[in-house]
Amino acid sequence: MKVLVVYDSVFGNTGEVAQAIGKALGVETEVEIAWTVYTA
């Protein structure tokens, strides 16, 4: 299974949660973590 975890973070806390989600999915799952940049 492939999973894409996309997040936006100003202070980095959300990035830590995204990494934890990726690790919790297990070794049989291909996980990509992507950070988005929001511009207004």
Residue 20 lies in a domain: yes
Residue 40 lies in a domain: no
CA 23-10-2 angle, 5° bins: 30
What pLDDT sits at residue 40?
62
Confirm if 18 and 33 have CB atoms less than 8 A apart.
Answer: yes
Residue 9 lies in a domain: yes
What string of DSSP letters covers 1-40?
-EEEEEE--SSSHHHHHHHHHHHHT-TTSEEEEEE-----
Reported as a pLDDT band with limits 50, 70 and 90, residue 10 is: confident
Residue 6 lies in a domain: yes
Residue 24 lies in a domain: yes
Residue 8 lies in a domain: yes
Q: What is the pLDDT of residues 17-31, one digit of tens each?
A: 888 988 898 878 888
How many separate domains does the chain show? 1
The domain containing residue 20 runs over which residues? 2-35
